[in-house]
Structure 1
Amino acid sequence: MRIFLLILLSVIALFKLTSIQPALAAETSNGANIFNNNCAACHIGGGNILISQKTLKKEALSKYLENYNTDSIQAIIYQVQNGKNAMPAFKSKLSAQEILEVAGYVFQKAEQGW
Protein backbone atom coordinates (compact mmCIF):
# COMPACT_ATOMS: atom_id res chain seq x y z
CA MET A 1 0.00 0.00 0.00
CA ARG A 2 2.89 2.36 0.74
CA ILE A 3 4.31 1.81 -2.73
CA PHE A 4 0.91 2.62 -4.25
CA LEU A 5 0.73 5.84 -2.20
CA LEU A 6 4.26 6.77 -3.25
CA ILE A 7 3.34 6.21 -6.90
CA LEU A 8 0.15 8.20 -6.42
CA LEU A 9 2.00 11.14 -4.88
CA SER A 10 4.52 11.03 -7.71
CA VAL A 11 1.75 11.14 -10.30
CA ILE A 12 0.10 14.07 -8.52
CA ALA A 13 3.39 15.95 -8.49
CA LEU A 14 3.89 15.27 -12.20
CA PHE A 15 0.42 16.50 -13.12
CA LYS A 16 0.95 19.73 -11.24
CA LEU A 17 3.90 20.61 -13.45
CA THR A 18 3.12 23.25 -16.05
CA SER A 19 4.80 21.39 -18.92
CA ILE A 20 4.25 17.77 -19.82
CA GLN A 21 7.40 15.64 -19.74
CA PRO A 22 7.74 12.87 -22.39
CA ALA A 23 7.21 10.11 -19.79
CA LEU A 24 4.09 11.84 -18.54
CA ALA A 25 2.79 12.14 -22.08
CA ALA A 26 3.10 8.35 -22.44
CA GLU A 27 1.21 7.82 -19.17
CA THR A 28 -1.46 10.25 -20.33
CA SER A 29 -1.70 8.32 -23.60
CA ASN A 30 -2.27 5.09 -21.64
CA GLY A 31 -4.88 6.89 -19.55
CA ALA A 32 -6.52 8.20 -22.72
CA ASN A 33 -6.66 4.70 -24.19
CA ILE A 34 -8.13 3.27 -20.99
CA PHE A 35 -10.66 6.10 -20.87
CA ASN A 36 -11.66 5.61 -24.51
CA ASN A 37 -12.08 1.86 -24.03
CA ASN A 38 -13.98 1.96 -20.72
CA CYS A 39 -15.40 5.40 -19.98
CA ALA A 40 -16.03 7.35 -23.18
CA ALA A 41 -19.33 5.61 -23.94
CA CYS A 42 -20.89 7.54 -21.04
CA HIS A 43 -18.34 10.35 -20.60
CA ILE A 44 -17.44 11.36 -24.15
CA GLY A 45 -15.63 14.69 -24.15
CA GLY A 46 -15.90 14.87 -20.36
CA GLY A 47 -19.70 14.90 -20.45
CA ASN A 48 -22.21 12.49 -18.97
CA ILE A 49 -24.90 10.98 -21.19
CA LEU A 50 -26.93 9.68 -18.22
CA ILE A 51 -26.91 12.58 -15.75
CA SER A 52 -26.00 15.74 -17.63
CA GLN A 53 -24.88 17.79 -14.63
CA LYS A 54 -22.47 15.09 -13.33
CA THR A 55 -19.77 15.64 -15.93
CA LEU A 56 -16.03 15.20 -15.61
CA LYS A 57 -15.48 18.92 -15.77
CA LYS A 58 -13.59 20.41 -12.82
CA GLU A 59 -16.61 22.26 -11.40
CA ALA A 60 -18.78 19.14 -11.42
CA LEU A 61 -16.03 16.93 -10.00
CA SER A 62 -15.48 19.33 -7.12
CA LYS A 63 -19.22 19.38 -6.45
CA TYR A 64 -20.01 15.66 -6.74
CA LEU A 65 -16.85 13.83 -5.65
CA GLU A 66 -16.00 13.71 -1.96
CA ASN A 67 -12.57 15.21 -1.17
CA TYR A 68 -12.02 16.37 -4.77
CA ASN A 69 -10.65 19.75 -3.77
CA THR A 70 -8.27 18.35 -1.14
CA ASP A 71 -7.23 15.10 -2.81
CA SER A 72 -8.39 15.21 -6.41
CA ILE A 73 -6.64 12.16 -7.86
CA GLN A 74 -7.60 9.98 -4.89
CA ALA A 75 -11.25 11.08 -5.22
CA ILE A 76 -11.26 10.10 -8.90
CA ILE A 77 -9.52 6.78 -8.13
CA TYR A 78 -12.13 6.00 -5.48
CA GLN A 79 -14.97 6.74 -7.91
CA VAL A 80 -13.45 4.60 -10.67
CA GLN A 81 -12.77 1.71 -8.28
CA ASN A 82 -16.13 1.72 -6.52
CA GLY A 83 -18.57 3.40 -8.90
CA LYS A 84 -21.69 5.12 -7.61
CA ASN A 85 -25.30 5.13 -8.69
CA ALA A 86 -25.36 4.50 -12.47
CA MET A 87 -21.56 4.32 -12.72
CA PRO A 88 -20.23 0.77 -12.40
CA ALA A 89 -17.22 -0.15 -10.29
CA PHE A 90 -14.07 -0.90 -12.28
CA LYS A 91 -11.86 -2.37 -9.53
CA SER A 92 -12.42 -5.89 -10.80
CA LYS A 93 -12.09 -4.92 -14.48
CA LEU A 94 -9.04 -2.61 -14.42
CA SER A 95 -5.70 -3.10 -12.67
CA ALA A 96 -4.57 -0.66 -9.99
CA GLN A 97 -2.11 0.81 -12.51
CA GLU A 98 -4.82 1.27 -15.14
CA ILE A 99 -7.09 2.96 -12.59
CA LEU A 100 -4.25 5.28 -11.61
CA GLU A 101 -3.56 6.14 -15.25
CA VAL A 102 -7.18 6.81 -16.13
CA ALA A 103 -7.63 8.90 -12.97
CA GLY A 104 -4.58 10.94 -13.93
CA TYR A 105 -5.99 11.42 -17.42
CA VAL A 106 -9.39 12.54 -16.11
CA PHE A 107 -7.72 14.95 -13.65
CA GLN A 108 -5.51 16.42 -16.36
CA LYS A 109 -8.40 16.84 -18.82
CA ALA A 110 -10.57 18.43 -16.10
CA GLU A 111 -7.78 20.89 -15.30
CA GLN A 112 -7.51 21.74 -19.01
CA GLY A 113 -11.28 22.16 -19.42
CA TRP A 114 -11.69 19.06 -21.59
Structure 2
Amino acid sequence: MKKILSVLLLVAFTFAFTSPATAADSANGAKIFTANCTACHLGGRNVVAAAKTLKQDALDKNNMNSLEAIITQVHNGKNAMPAFKSRLNDQQIEDVATYVLEQAAKDWS
Protein backbone atom coordinates (compact mmCIF):
# COMPACT_ATOMS: atom_id res chain seq x y z
CA MET A 1 0.00 0.00 0.00
CA LYS A 2 2.86 2.38 0.85
CA LYS A 3 4.44 1.68 -2.52
CA ILE A 4 1.21 2.53 -4.38
CA LEU A 5 0.80 5.72 -2.36
CA SER A 6 4.41 6.70 -3.10
CA VAL A 7 3.90 6.16 -6.82
CA LEU A 8 0.68 8.18 -6.80
CA LEU A 9 2.39 11.03 -4.96
CA LEU A 10 5.27 10.97 -7.41
CA VAL A 11 2.88 11.11 -10.37
CA ALA A 12 0.90 13.95 -8.79
CA PHE A 13 4.09 15.88 -8.04
CA THR A 14 5.34 15.39 -11.60
CA PHE A 15 2.12 16.75 -13.12
CA ALA A 16 1.87 19.61 -10.66
CA PHE A 17 5.40 20.96 -11.14
CA THR A 18 6.24 20.27 -14.76
CA SER A 19 4.83 21.98 -17.82
CA PRO A 20 3.23 19.94 -20.56
CA ALA A 21 5.36 19.11 -23.59
CA THR A 22 3.10 21.16 -25.83
CA ALA A 23 3.31 24.37 -23.80
CA ALA A 24 4.40 27.34 -25.86
CA ASP A 25 8.01 28.42 -25.46
CA SER A 26 8.46 32.16 -25.91
CA ALA A 27 12.28 31.94 -25.86
CA ASN A 28 12.15 29.45 -28.71
CA GLY A 29 9.60 31.72 -30.43
CA ALA A 30 12.09 34.58 -30.23
CA LYS A 31 14.74 32.51 -32.00
CA ILE A 32 12.31 31.40 -34.70
CA PHE A 33 11.02 34.97 -35.12
CA THR A 34 14.58 36.25 -35.55
CA ALA A 35 15.36 33.61 -38.16
CA ASN A 36 12.11 33.84 -40.14
CA CYS A 37 10.19 37.04 -39.44
CA THR A 38 12.55 39.95 -38.80
CA ALA A 39 13.06 40.74 -42.47
CA CYS A 40 9.52 42.13 -42.51
CA HIS A 41 8.68 42.53 -38.82
CA LEU A 42 11.80 43.82 -37.04
CA GLY A 43 10.76 45.48 -33.80
CA GLY A 44 7.11 44.68 -34.45
CA ARG A 45 6.96 46.78 -37.60
CA ASN A 46 5.67 45.70 -41.00
CA VAL A 47 7.75 46.78 -44.00
CA VAL A 48 5.16 45.57 -46.51
CA ALA A 49 1.93 46.95 -45.01
CA ALA A 50 2.93 49.75 -42.63
CA ALA A 51 -0.48 49.96 -40.92
CA LYS A 52 -0.51 46.25 -40.08
CA THR A 53 2.27 46.14 -37.52
CA LEU A 54 2.63 43.67 -34.68
CA LYS A 55 2.04 46.45 -32.15
CA GLN A 56 -0.83 45.87 -29.72
CA ASP A 57 -3.11 48.57 -31.13
CA ALA A 58 -2.74 47.23 -34.68
CA LEU A 59 -3.27 43.64 -33.52
CA ASP A 60 -6.44 44.75 -31.71
CA LYS A 61 -7.70 46.78 -34.69
CA ASN A 62 -7.11 43.91 -37.14
CA ASN A 63 -8.51 41.16 -34.86
CA MET A 64 -5.08 39.55 -34.65
CA ASN A 65 -4.81 39.82 -30.87
CA SER A 66 -5.21 36.14 -30.01
CA LEU A 67 -2.96 33.14 -30.15
CA GLU A 68 -5.36 31.41 -32.54
CA ALA A 69 -5.48 34.34 -34.98
CA ILE A 70 -1.70 34.67 -35.15
CA ILE A 71 -1.22 30.91 -35.48
CA THR A 72 -3.66 30.87 -38.40
CA GLN A 73 -1.91 33.82 -40.08
CA VAL A 74 1.57 32.31 -39.72
CA HIS A 75 0.39 28.85 -40.75
CA ASN A 76 -1.62 29.88 -43.82
CA GLY A 77 -0.22 33.28 -44.76
CA LYS A 78 -2.39 36.04 -46.17
CA ASN A 79 -1.93 38.63 -48.88
CA ALA A 80 1.81 39.46 -49.02
CA MET A 81 2.66 37.27 -46.03
CA PRO A 82 3.74 33.78 -47.05
CA ALA A 83 2.51 30.63 -45.33
CA PHE A 84 5.03 29.06 -42.98
CA LYS A 85 3.27 25.69 -42.59
CA SER A 86 5.87 23.98 -44.78
CA ARG A 87 8.83 25.59 -42.97
CA LEU A 88 7.72 25.48 -39.33
CA ASN A 89 5.92 22.78 -37.39
CA ASP A 90 2.84 23.48 -35.28
CA GLN A 91 4.81 23.84 -32.05
CA GLN A 92 7.22 26.33 -33.63
CA ILE A 93 4.31 28.38 -34.97
CA GLU A 94 2.67 28.40 -31.53
CA ASP A 95 5.99 29.49 -29.99
CA VAL A 96 6.26 32.39 -32.47
CA ALA A 97 2.66 33.44 -31.83
CA THR A 98 3.28 33.41 -28.07
CA TYR A 99 6.41 35.52 -28.55
CA VAL A 100 4.55 38.03 -30.74
CA LEU A 101 1.77 38.47 -28.19
CA GLU A 102 4.26 38.89 -25.34
CA GLN A 103 6.25 41.48 -27.29
CA ALA A 104 3.12 43.36 -28.33
CA ALA A 105 2.08 43.59 -24.67
CA LYS A 106 5.53 45.08 -23.90
CA ASP A 107 5.33 47.44 -26.93
CA TRP A 108 8.26 45.55 -28.49
CA SER A 109 10.74 47.09 -26.04
Q: TM-score by structure 2 length?
A: 0.74
Q: Which residue of 1 aligns with 2:50?
A: 52
Flag the structure with larger Rg: 2
Counterparts of 1:33-44 in structure 2, within 5 Å, are 33-44=31-42
Equivalent residues in 2 for 1:64-103, closer than 5 Å? 64-65=62-63, 68=65, 72-103=66-97
> Number of residue pairs matched?
89
Q: In angstroms, what is the RMSD of aligned CA positions?
A: 1.8
Unaligned runs of 5+ in 2: 1-19
Q: List structure 1 runs of 4+ shifted beyond 6 angstroms.
A: none
Aligned-partner Cα distance in 2 for 1:47–1:76: 15
Shift of 1:65: 3.3
Identity of aligned residues (%): 52
Report the secondary structure of 2:93's partner residue.
helix
Distance 1:65 1:93, change over 3 A: farther
Give unpaired runs (5+ residues) of structure 1: 1-5, 12-26
